[in-house]
Amino acid sequence: MLRALQIVFGILVVAFLILPIIAILPLAFTSSVFLTYPIPAYSLRWFEELVSADVWRLSIVNSLIIGGGATVLSTVLGTLAALGLRASSLPFAGLLRTLFLLPMVVPAVVLGVGMQIFLVRLGLASTYPGVIIAHAVLCVPFVVVSVSAALQGIDPAVEKAAMSLGAPPVTVFRRVTLPLAVPGVVSGAVFAFATSLDEVVITLFVAGPNQRTLARQMFSSIRENISPTVAAAALLLIVGTLCLAALAALLRRREKRAVAVP
């Protein structure tokens, strides 16, 4: 009885979690202009729309430019900071770590308002550098967390061993620390890119029409006149993020296997 109840509950929750995401996918292939079931016929017209309509094409290109820029910026800054945080001699390390994680906590709208006022004053509002910087702020925590985790997994004795075997500090970093941290850096970058790809709120505040990203375009499309193009874009995003997630998971597993010392 209890067992049956558990099974039913489990199935219901899994369905609640997964079905909505799956339900949107077939609608990307509908031939109708309505986002409803049953689907009259299958077609690729909405994908064509996605690449041929200027607003959609531009938004995809923008997402790649801004996501790429924010990923590079946040990965470089976050990786350096994670390496610095690792040194036991750093004072206020706990405080700094908290600062680095805060962009994940502060409500997006609040940060958006501040960013908007600030970037207007700097003359960076509605420019690519402005949007890239704003996105990078949001991406930084993911990189710091990911790289820190990878660095924490390195046994300090391994670096000491390299030193005792004749490697000067720079060589230890290049031949031992860095290769062992790379999976963390890559998965941090993947997280950063996924975060930028999905970001809407800050973009709403700091981007002009020329920096409209895919997520931002989907947002206004749902709000103003929803069409199956949104489903096609959603499919694109799902496939994209799942590929990135798989890549990150793969790297994490490799990293874990590599660091595991019995």
Partner 1 sequence: MSRASVRDRSRAFALVAPLVLFLALFFVWPLWTMVTASVVDDAVTKVLPRTAVAMADWDGSDLPPPAVHGALAEDLRTAQDQQALGEAVRRLNSAVSGFRTLLTRTVTAAREAPDPAALDFAAVDPRWNEPRFWRAIKEAVPPYTDRNLLAALDLRRDAGGSIVAEEPGAAANRIIMLRTFVIAGSVTLACAAIGLPYAMLAAAAGGVMRALLLLAVLVPLWTSLLVRTAAWFILLQQEGLINRTLGSLGIIDAPLPLIFNRLGVIIAMTHVLLPFMVLPIYSVLIAVPRNLMPAAASLGAGPIRAFWRVLLPLAMPGLMSGCLLVFMVAIGYYITPALVGGANDQMISSVIAFYALGTANWGMAGALGLILLAVTLLLYLVYGRLSRSPQLPGA
Partner 2 sequence: MGAFIAFQDVTKNFGAVTVVDRLDLQIAKGEFLSLLGPSGSGKTTILMMLAGFERPTSGAILLADKPITHLPPHRRQMGVVFQNYALFPHMTVAENVAFPLEMQRVPRAEITRRVERALDMVRLSPLKDRKPSQLSGGQQQRVALTRALVFEPDVILMDEPLGALDKQLREHMQLEIRDLHRRLGLTIVFVTHDQSEALTMSDRIAVFNAGKVEQIDTPQAVYDRPRTRFVAEFIGETNLVEGKVVEAGAQQAVVRVGETALNVSGEVSPGRDVSLSLRPERIRLGKEPAAANALNVTVADCIYHGDHMRLVLKSGTIELVARAERLAGDWAVGTEAVASFDPQDCTVLAS
How far apart are the C-alpha atoms of 215 and 222, rounded to whole Å? 11
Phi first, then psi, for residue 42 (nearest 5°) are -95, 140
Instruction: Kindly tell me which residue out of 108, 154, 158, 167 binds partner 1, with binding defined by CB under 8 A.
Output: 108
Q: Is 91 in the site for partner 1 (CB under 8 A)?
A: yes
Site string for partner 2, 140-179 (x = CB under 8 A): ---------------x-xx-xxxxxxxxxx-xx--xx--x
Nearest distance in Å: CB 147, partner 2: 16
In the complex with partner 1, the residue whose CB is nearer, 13 or 161, is: 13
Q: With CB under 8 A as the contact rule, which of the stretches 8-16, 51-59, 153-161, 251-259 interacts with partner 1?
A: 8-16
Residue 191 binds: one of partner 2, partner 1, none (C-beta under 5 to 8 A by kind): partner 1
Residue 168 binds: one of partner 2, partner 1, none (C-beta under 5 to 8 A by kind): partner 2
Ranges within 157-216 binding partner 1 (CB under 8 A): 191, 194, 197-198, 200-201, 204-205, 215
Nearest distance in Å: CB 258, partner 2: 4
How far apart are the C-alpha atoms of 51 and 24, rounded to whole Å? 19
Give whole-number Cα distances, 235 to 9, 48, 135, 228, 239, in Å. 28, 14, 23, 11, 6
Q: Which of 41, 43, 15 is nearest to 232 (CA)?
A: 43
In the complex with partner 2, the residue whose CB is nearer, 38 or 166, is: 166
Place of tokens 């805060």: 102
In the complex with partner 2, the residue whose CB is nearer, 68 or 169, is: 169
Q: Is 123 in the site for partner 2 (CB under 8 A)?
A: no
Q: Is 147 in the site for partner 1 (CB under 8 A)?
A: no
Q: Which of 237, 133, 151, 134 is nearest to 188 (CA)?
A: 151
Length of the chain: 262
Query: How far is C-alpha 187 from the chain's CA centre?
Result: 10
Q: Could you say which DSSP state residue 104 is in?
A: G
Q: Which of 224, 85, 93 is nearest to 143 (CA)?
A: 85
Nearest distance in Å: CB 248, partner 2: 18
Q: Could you say which DSSP state residue 42 is in?
A: B
How far apart are the C-alpha atoms of 14 and 22, rounded to whole Å? 12
Ranges within 177-196 binding partner 2 (CB under 8 A): 179-180
Place of tokens 């590599």: 258
Ranges within 37-56 binding partner 1 (CB under 8 A): 37
Q: Which residues form the interface with partner 2 (CB under 8 A)?
A: 155, 157-158, 160-169, 171-172, 175-176, 179-180, 257-262
